């Protein structure tokens, strides 16, 4: 009895791929949030320095 292979080494690879994709998306989202926060801080600092 031999199994037919469809190119996947097992069910673990699909889970691993999903986790990898979720991690990548999470990292991208966190980087975007950090960039937005730093931009907001810079804008607020510029506004406060203009008032002085």
Interval 23-48: pLDDT, tens: 999 999 999 999 999 988 777 777 77
Rg (C-alpha) for the chain, rounded Å, is 23
E strands present in the chain: none
Indicate the pLDDT class of residue 11, thresholds 50, 70 and 90.
Answer: low
pLDDT of residue 28: 98
Indicate the pLDDT class of residue 4, thresholds 50, 70 and 90.
Answer: low
Query: What is the C-alpha to C-alpha distance for residues 30 and 41, in angstroms, rounded to an integer?
Result: 16
pLDDT of residue 5: 54
Sign, CA torsion 44/49/50/52: positive
DSSP letter at 3 equals: P
Of all residues in the chain, the percent with pLDDT exceeding 70 is 71
Confirm if 21 and 27 have CB atoms less than 8 A apart. Answer: no
Better-predicted residue by pLDDT, 48 or 52: 48
């Amino acid at each position: 009895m031999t199994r037919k292979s469809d190119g996947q080494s097992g069910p673990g690879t699909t889970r691993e791929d999903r986790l990898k994709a979720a991690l990548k998306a999470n990292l991208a989202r966190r980087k975007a949030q950090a960039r937005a926060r730093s931009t907001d801080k810079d804008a607020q600092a510029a506004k406060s320095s203009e008032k002085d």
